[in-house]
Amino acid sequence: MERVPLTSAAVVAAAAGLADEAGFEAVTLSAVARRLKVQAPSLYSHVKDREALLDGVAALALADLSQRIATAIAGRAGRDALDGFATAHREFAREAPGRWQSLQRRAGDTVVRSDAARRIVVLNKAVLRGYPIPEDQHVHAVRLLGATINGYLALERIGGFDHSHPSPDVSWRKTVQALDVLLTAWPADPGDPS
């Protein structure tokens, strides 16, 4: 069995794969080392510590997500773009649950300053492009979008919808519809007649 030399990228990729298969909390240096058939201390040649490893997974995740979103909203505007955006998020959470979960923690500096993070910001604004939202309201709209979508996926993941009917798919469609309604008629600030 030929052993491939380790690299930082290979270590992070192994961690990401493990996250998706066994859950984010199962990503330990020990588990990743076993997966790569080395001893755990050997990983410190490639990652600073466990925190840095998890940040590496998060950076991978963000890159993947931003790519999915870019593809999903390309050439689309308004409700179509919103649908694509929301669907990209949900499919990412489904297909790469461990990577999705890596994004639910406070991001380290390397993640915050990554190209993928910047791309996500751009894509968030792009979704709003087809809606009549004042520029000064964009940050609120982006935050509301992110909160609602991510919040929905988080509750779904922990079984928050398991104890009521109908299936989360139905409520998801209604949720995206509601977001479209909101973005289409963004509420004015109280006391602002426009």
Partner DNA sequence: ACTCCCAACCTATACCCATTAGGCATCTAC
Partner DNA sequence: GTAGATGCCTAATGGGTATAGGTTGGGAGT
Interacting residue ranges for DNA, rule: CB under 7 A: 5-6, 28-31, 37-42, 44-46, 49-51
Cβ-based nearer residue to a second copy, 2 or 109: 109
Enumerate residues 6+ apart whose C-beta is below 8 A from 152: 168, 171, 172, 175
- Residues numbered 124-163 forming contacts with a second copy, rule: CB under 8 A: 137, 139-140, 142-144, 146-152, 154-155, 157-161, 163
Side chain identity at residue 125, one-letter code: K
Side chain identity at residue 160, one-letter code: G
User: Do residues 9 and 47 make contact, with C-beta atoms less than 8 angstroms apart?
Assistant: no
The entry of DNA, a second copy, none that residue 146 binds, CB within 5 to 8 Å by partner kind: a second copy
Handedness of CA 36, 38, 40, 45 (dihedral sign): negative
Enumerate helices (H) and strands (E) in the chain, giving the number of each.
9, 0
Q: Which stretch binds a second copy (CB under 8 A): 38-46, 61-69, 92-100, 183-191?
A: 183-191
Residue numbers at the binding site for a second copy (CB under 8 A): 104-107, 112, 137, 139-140, 142-144, 146-152, 154-155, 157-161, 163-166, 168, 170-171, 174-175, 177-178, 181-182, 185, 187, 189-190
